[in-house]
Structures are given as C-alpha cells and as structure tokens.
C-alpha cells in the first residue's frame, strides 16, 4: 500500500533510499523500522559482537587457571559483562563525538569497516542523541547490575575499572580536539588495555599476571590506535581532531606504530612466563601477524595501508585471547 509523505523522508549521507524518492513510497513504517535497526546495528558495531566477550573472557580464563576457580556460571556472567560493558563504551564514543562526526567527508574506509551499513547513525539521523544516551545508560546500568552479582571484592574491582574506563573514554574524545601532545591517546586508551584485566579481576586479584597482561596489551592498544587513526586521517582532519597522524604526519604515525610494536614484543616475552604453552604459541603467532603489518606500514604509511593491516591487528588480538582460553581449557 502506498502512503503519502507525512514527514521528511529518511536521508542516508545526503541520498534518499530508492523506496523513499519522491513524495510517495511503499510501506513507510517498514522502511523506517529497517533504517532504525540498521542505525542501531552501526551504533553498536554489531558485526564485531563476538570479539569483546572473547577478549574479556581471556582475562577470566587466565585468572581461573591461576586460582583454579573456573565455573560455567561465572563464565556466563563474565561474557555478559564483557559484551554489555564494551558496547556501552562504543555508544558513548559516538554520543560524545556526535557534532564532530557531522563533518565526516569519507565513508568508504574506516566507517564501513567498523559499521556494517557504513553510517554514522547519530549525525545521519537514524538514532537520536537522546536515544543514544539512553542506550548508553541502559548498557552501563545493566553491566553494573551483572557486576554486582560477582563475589566481593571482585565486584568492586571490576566496577571501579568500568567507571574509570567510561571516564577515560570521555576524556579521550574531548581531549583530542585540542592538544599539542598525544595526551588523549596515551591516557585515554588505557581503557582498552584495562579491558582484559577487568576480566581477570572477575575471579582473580590484582597480582603479577594481571599487571603483566596490562603491560602486554597497552602497547598493542597504542599501536592499534595509530593504525585506526591512519585509516581515518581524512575525517580526523575534517573534524579538527588532533590524532597521531594529524600531530606527526603519516610517516611519524608509522614510527609510532613500530615503536609501540617493539615495546609490545618486549612485554610479550615477559607475559609468556605466566602462560601455558598453547597461549604462548598464540602470542608468538599474533606477534608474527603484527610484524607483517608493521613492515607493510613502513613501506606504505597511508590511509589505504592502514586499512589493509587493521584486520591483522584484530586477528592478532583474537589469536592472543583465543589461545589463552584454549590453553586454559586443555
């Protein structure tokens, strides 16, 4: 059934969907629901939904191996915390940057990689700022509720890290708008490095393995950030963001990535001292993937080069986390 345009048609990056061109189109409610669902899928980066629980649970499995505390009930709780907590951070990211994201000029590289439908849903009008804020609060409160079911003091450890990470995310998004040194990156991205550590603290305690996991993962987070920013250089320039490539140029970003990769390797050799052979092998294979990425960027320090190697970083991350989990289960 055709219906008349009673409201403005939905616009995606300045283009009307084929069904909505003109003032008459088929089944407006269905089209509206579909575009809204696509907006939420992009807001939540849903095609990466599996990655965050795996990374978070890798910390839990490491602690369970150290303390002998594994249980399926705990694993289910930890997986839910990892999923809801990280998704909340992604929504917070988009909410804080909603006005700056309107300035984006390029949608085919990083936006398409991180968002399956290739949209910035808040600036595109697919999700309202109010709805995004409410979704963040729902995810954050739900995460805290599940965290509260953990035994004390583990619930306290994880809740404090979660609140710190949301604060660090907000600091990172705001600080990088105006800075002459990469303070936002060096401090703000501690949130990503603490993520698997929080998984560890769901059943473990602040100890040497937890510290070593953080020291191992922090340089990875810094190198990953450099690659991500390299791929998004056009949009960051349009937004006026002082990211690593904007501050130091493309070649300087390649050195940033290489430097943190070397630091990552150094701490990897220390970290494997608390890992089983399976996990240690996974770390070695992950480092090999990253070495290929770093060499490629040394030869091609461009946005296209960043996009080519970004999947290698995510594959290495999953290899690290997956090997820790498999090693603990064997």
The token pair that represents 203 in the structure block:
């059943």
Q: Which conformational region is residue 242 in: left (phi greater than 0), alpha (psi within -120 to 50 degrees), or beta?
A: beta
Q: Alpha carbon 104 to chain centroid distance?
A: 19
Burial class (CB in 10 A: 0-12, 13-18, 19+), 15: exposed
Burial 37-57 (b: 16+ CB within 10 A, else e): ebbbbbbbbbebeebbbbbbb
Q: What are phi and psi of 92, to 5 degrees?
A: -60, -40
pLDDT over 70, % of the chain: 90
The predicted-structure confidence for 38-67, as pLDDT tens digits, reads as follows 999 999 999 999 999 999 999 999 999 999
pLDDT at 6 (0 to 100): 40
Q: Of 146, 173, 134, give the one whose Cα is nearest residue 56.
A: 146
pLDDT at 28 (0 to 100): 53
Q: Of 222, 229, 220, give the one whose Cα is nearest residue 250.
A: 229
The predicted-structure confidence for 313-330, as pLDDT tens digits, reads as follows 999 999 999 999 999 999
For the cut 60, the answer to whether the pLDDT of residue 252 exceeds it is: yes
CB hemisphere CA count around 302 (13 angstroms): 6
pTM across the whole model: 0.90
The predicted-structure confidence for 201-218, as pLDDT tens digits, reads as follows 999 999 999 999 999 999
pLDDT at 21 (0 to 100): 43
Q: What are phi and psi of 126, to 5 degrees?
A: -80, -30
CATH class held by domain 50-329: mainly alpha
The predicted-structure confidence for 286-311, as pLDDT tens digits, reads as follows 999 999 999 999 999 999 999 999 99
The predicted-structure confidence for 110-131, as pLDDT tens digits, reads as follows 999 999 999 999 999 999 999 9
CA dist 68 and 288 (Å) reads 31
Domain boundaries, the chain: 50-329
User: Rg of the chain over CA atoms, in angstroms?
Assistant: 21
pLDDT at 181 (0 to 100): 97
The token pair that represents 274 in the structure block:
């608390």
Higher pLDDT, 33 or 150: 150
For the cut 70, the answer to whether the pLDDT of residue 220 exceeds it is: yes
Q: For residues 276 and 65, is the Cβ–Cβ distance under 8 A?
A: yes
Burial class (CB in 10 A: 0-12, 13-18, 19+), 155: middle
Q: What is the mean pLDDT of the chain?
A: 92
The predicted-structure confidence for 151-180, as pLDDT tens digits, reads as follows 999 999 999 999 999 999 999 999 999 999
For the cut 60, the answer to whether the pLDDT of residue 2 exceeds it is: no
Q: Which conformational region is residue 103 in: left (phi greater than 0), alpha (psi within -120 to 50 degrees), or beta?
A: alpha
Question: Which three-class secondary structure string do you get for 119-146?
Answer: CCCCCCCCCCHHHHHHHHHHHHHHHHHH
Fill in the DSSP letter of residue 151. P
15 confidence band (pLDDT: 50, 70, 90): very low
For the cut 90, the answer to whether the pLDDT of residue 189 exceeds it is: yes
- SS3 of 4, please? strand
Longest dimension (CA), the chain: 68
Neighbours of 166 (CB within 10 A): 18
Average pLDDT over residues 227-239: 96
The token pair that represents 169 in the structure block:
């995310």
């Amino acid at each position: 059934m055709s219906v008349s345009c009673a409201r403005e048609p939905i616009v995606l990056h300045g283009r009307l969907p084929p069904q909505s061109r003109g003032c008459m189109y088929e089944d407006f409610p269905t089209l509206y629901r579909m575009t809204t669902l696509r907006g939420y899928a992009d807001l939540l980066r849903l095609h990466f939904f599996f990655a965050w629980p795996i990374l978070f649970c890798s910390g839990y499995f490491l602690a369970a191996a150290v303390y002998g505390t594994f249980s399926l009930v705990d694993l289910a709780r930890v997986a839910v915390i990892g999923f809801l907590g990280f998704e909340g951070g992604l929504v917070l990211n988009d909410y804080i940057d909603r006005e700056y994201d309107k300035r984006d000029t390029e949608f085919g590289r990083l936006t398409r990689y991180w968002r399956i439908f290739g949209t910035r849903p808040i600036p595109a009008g697919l999700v309202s700022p109010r709805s995004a804020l409410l979704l963040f609060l729902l995810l954050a409160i739900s995460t805290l509720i599940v965290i509260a079911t953990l035994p004390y003091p583990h619930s306290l450890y994880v809740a404090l890290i979660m609140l710190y990470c949301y604060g660090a995310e907000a600091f990172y998004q705001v600080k990088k708008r105006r800075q002459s040194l990469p303070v936002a990156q060096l401090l703000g991205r501690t949130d990503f490095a603490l993520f698997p550590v929080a998984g560890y603290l769901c059943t473990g305690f602040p100890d040497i393995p937890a510290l070593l996991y953080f020291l191992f993962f922090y340089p990875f987070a810094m190198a990953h950030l450099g690659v991500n920013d390299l791929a998004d250089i056009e949009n960051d320039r349009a937004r006026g963001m002082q990211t690593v490539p904007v501050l130091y140029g493309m070649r300087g970003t390649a050195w940033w990535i290489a430097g943190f990769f070397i630091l990552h390797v150094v701490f990897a050799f220390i970290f494997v001292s608390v890992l089983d052979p399976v996990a240690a092998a996974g770390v070695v294979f992950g480092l090999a993937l990253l070495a290929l990425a770093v060499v490629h960027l040394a030869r091609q320090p461009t946005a296209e080069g960043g996009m080519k190697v970004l999947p290698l970083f995510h594959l290495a991350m999953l290899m690290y986390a997956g090997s820790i989990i498999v090693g603990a289960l064997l």
